[in-house]
Amino acid sequence: MSGAEPGGRTPRAPVAFTVRRARRADMAAIWELEREFAVFERLEQQFTGSPERMAECLFGNGWPKLECFVAEVGGELAGLAIFYGAYSTFWTRPVLWLEDLFVSPRHRGLRIGRALFAAVAAVAVERGCARMDWAVLDWNRDAIDFYEHLGAASHGGWFTYRLSGEGLAAIAAESRAKP
């Protein structure tokens, strides 16, 4: 389809939007976008945190320190990008982890996702990051197409694993290191 965006969407008529750093006053809207994201990813059963804990990491002294860009359309938050720093011991340089990139479905096709992604990429470049990494669910073809359209590629040979809950607590109980 000529002029189609990744995922087969046709770009909509231009709508003014702003990408900016999130502010504490945005927390309720950020939390609602995160809830919408969890439903979209079919992971709402894992959406068990709290806006207060997230706000502490975004705007307070919580660890890890999160950063967030938001996109605003007509005074309404339409999307967000949440990210944080990490480190590559092999490259001995910082890396940036993009935790969440989400645009509400009613605001897709306006290039908001690309603008949010570009804002995070600019932070990575400004801070001398060796790379920017993120995860994509294997069924989310629209997201995969979006990232590949930007020039990103899956870094083959690596699998994402997770340890949580009782398994995490059990292995932690074996630690001999002093925290």
Domains of the chain, each with CATH number or no CATH: 6-172 (3.40.630.30)
What per-residue confidence (pLDDT) applies to 124? 97
What per-residue confidence (pLDDT) applies to 177? 82
Residues ≥6 apart with Cβ < 8 Å to 64: 57, 84
pLDDT (tens digit, 0 to 9) for every residue of the chain, 179 residues total? 233 345 555 566 678 999 999 999 999 999 999 999 999 999 999 999 999 999 999 999 999 999 999 999 999 999 999 999 999 999 999 999 999 999 999 999 999 999 999 999 999 999 999 999 999 999 999 999 999 999 998 887 787 888 888 999 999 999 988 76
84, 87, 147, 161: the catalytic one is 147
Total-model pTM = 0.88
Place of tokens 């590559």: 88
Which residues of the chain form beta strands (DSSP E)? 18-21, 67-73, 76-88, 93-103, 132-133
How far apart (Å, rounded) are the C-alpha atoms in residues 142 and 88?
Answer: 29
How far apart (Å, rounded) are the C-alpha atoms in residues 54 and 57?
Answer: 5
Is 147 labeled as catalytic in the residue annotation? Answer: yes
User: What's phi and psi for 124, nearest 5 deg?
Assistant: -60, -45
What per-residue confidence (pLDDT) applies to 12? 66
What token pair was written down for 28? 């309720």
